[in-house]
Chain A
């Protein structure tokens, strides 16, 4: 442990050089801008800037590229809060309560708590990286297809139960999302499915199109459908002292931030879209344990603090499998793997000993990067919050242009814009009839992975469904799913027993 601390201190020495500080700052700024712009994700940002790092030494290059990754995660939450347009896939859950906070004139506290939560998560995450990296990465390898399948089923059931007012409606949306996710190429056999000769559909429905459509365009259309006089209003604007979180806000958020950090770190070790899953898991838990769950969906600060901390923490944890095992578990880290190989560094168990300078330098730079993001973004909170002063008559068209442009940049395809508009109309109707978008989006992301896990599990077991219950980890997740499903029944039974007990006592 002391040896690791010594290495970390050396790492700060490496990351703290003028050159590396500059590259870290550049990465954070570029990443934040990329995160704010919908459509351009960290993958594109990292990929676009790899050539710019050819002249740099490997440590500086990875410091800058890593800065883009977590800077983008940070920036994605800004548009989620202000405009209900998720800048990143992992920022979708922030739209639920963050946007509602902004609508109540509390955009400032929402943005500030994202900065603070991300910083705290980043700080704790650094220590997790240093001390828990090797054993946690080994444990993550124990997950096979049956475990992934059971975990994802558990996630869907739980998420459907904590978003929206109707469990059944949320579950139906999750299934619709899973079905939409089957459009394109069969992930196992490679056969086209539900494409009917359409070439753009071969790659499936773009997640960003659905996310921006359902949340961003849908919200715009809801506003456009309002009486004309309401469009002259900006959002209720707070006084200067209300631009930052109060002591009560901080008290409410700290628990959520710490829990989100733990959840994000654990989930970040699992292959797949870890930041997305981490944010959903955090939201679910915060809502479950809250003394005022009815506030969620209406601007509960815990609903922003927890998921955003989980997001940041998951991004950091994603570096563990990359550096320690040489296995990228998330698409952005896959691009980083490419960057490492280009610079002549082979990540894996020997990386720590052969490239100690790079390993500890990058880890230390993450802490510095989080600090830079806090310094960069906290003063900008009033500026961002003032965007909401713009009357809706002017703001809404700007949001539409923003969405269309961002959408086009994903694949340079007008087809994606059409998809976004279709899902925008669907998002409007979903809002009208109280159907939640979050389960649909999670299902769209996880659907292909769920199918692969399902089919691989059955191939391994030669068609025997027992594979899901014979493996302990999978069994645990399925048991938890059943318990969760039966929880309302238990609660009703306990309530009626208590009532029966009380009336028995009275008589």
Chain B
């Protein structure tokens, strides 16, 4: 846990450093007439100082001072389920405009239910169809919100 905390602290430090470097490429100006880069430059420097202090604090801290991780032991996590879940969301977003809203909703719900373990296809398809049709009528027909029509043109 201590190693994780230090690693995250270093990542934040690097983020602050990148902000500083990118800000220096913009006009900084003076305090009287601040340029575009001044504010993010100041923020980046402060972030580097704070994250550096945080890393040092954790490094020199004893075990009793460490923050406990979220209660979710490594052995009971489901990384593959998480990756597949994320993958389905990414694919849905990638083809959102081409497939259109109703079809994307249907396919997204179908795949997510399957990934989370709804093995019965009948139930899976029923929930997916009801959700897709329901959300279509709510958002497109009733609230009149323009959604991509995709290939099927609905």
Contacts and interface: CB of A to CB of B under 8 A. Distances in A.
Most central of B16, B53, B79, B82 by chain A CB within 10 Å: B82
Contacts of B141: none
Contacts of B5: 433
A408 B131 CA distance: 17
Interface of A is mostly: helix
B121 interface: no
B14 interface: no
Interface in B16-47: 16, 19, 22, 26, 30-40, 43-44, 46-47
A425 B86 CA distance: 9
Given A169-B54, A179-B44, A458-B31, A417 B96 contact: yes
A171 interface: yes
B146 to A, nearest CB: 6
A451 B70 contact: no
Contact of A224 (B78, B93, B105, B131): B78
B138 to A, nearest CB: 9
A175 B20 CA distance: 13
Given A168-B57, A191-B36, A433-B8, A404 B92 contact: yes
A402 B89 CA distance: 12
A375 to B, nearest CB: 24
Contacts of A435: 8
A455 B38 CA distance: 9
B31 A465 contact: yes
A466 B127 CA distance: 63
B103 interface: no
A473 interface: no
A484 to B, nearest CB: 17
A435 B108 CA distance: 30
A459 interface: yes
A397 interface: yes
A241 interface: no
A203 interface: no
Contacts of A462: 32
A227 B75 CA distance: 9
A432 B96 contact: no
A443 to B, nearest CB: 10
B117 interface: yes
B4 interface: yes
Contacts of A228: 78, 81, 116-117
B34 A458 contact: yes
B131 A401 contact: yes
A418 interface: yes
Interface in B118-144: 118, 127, 131, 135, 139, 143-144
Given A172-B51, A434-B67, A455-B39, A396 B116 contact: yes
Contacts of A224: 78, 81-82, 85, 116
Nearest to B139: A405
Nearest to A455: B34
A463 interface: yes
A175 B67 contact: no
Contacts of A6: none
Contacts of A393: 113, 116-118
A175 B43 contact: yes
A36 B131 CA distance: 17
Most central of B101, B112, B118 by chain A CB within 10 Å: B112
Interface in A444-492: 451, 454-455, 458-459, 462-463, 465
Nearest to A194: B22
Most central of A165, A400, A431 by chain B CB within 10 Å: A400
B63 interface: no
A16 to B, nearest CB: 30
24 contacts: A40-B143, A168-B53, A171-B50, A172-B54, A175-B47, A176-B15, A179-B16, A179-B44, A182-B43, A191-B36, A224-B82, A224-B116, A225-B77, A228-B117, A394-B118, A396-B112, A397-B108, A409-B139, A412-B146, A434-B68, A455-B38, A458-B31, A463-B30, A463-B33
Given A165-B67, A222-B72, A408-B147, 14 more contacts: A168-B50, A179-B44, A182-B43, A194-B22, A226-B76, A226-B77, A398-B131, A401-B105, A404-B92, A414-B96, A414-B97, A451-B39, A463-B30, A463-B33
For the complex of A and B, the 4 pairs showing the least CB-CB separation, nearest first, are A463-B32, A397-B112, A463-B31, A175-B47
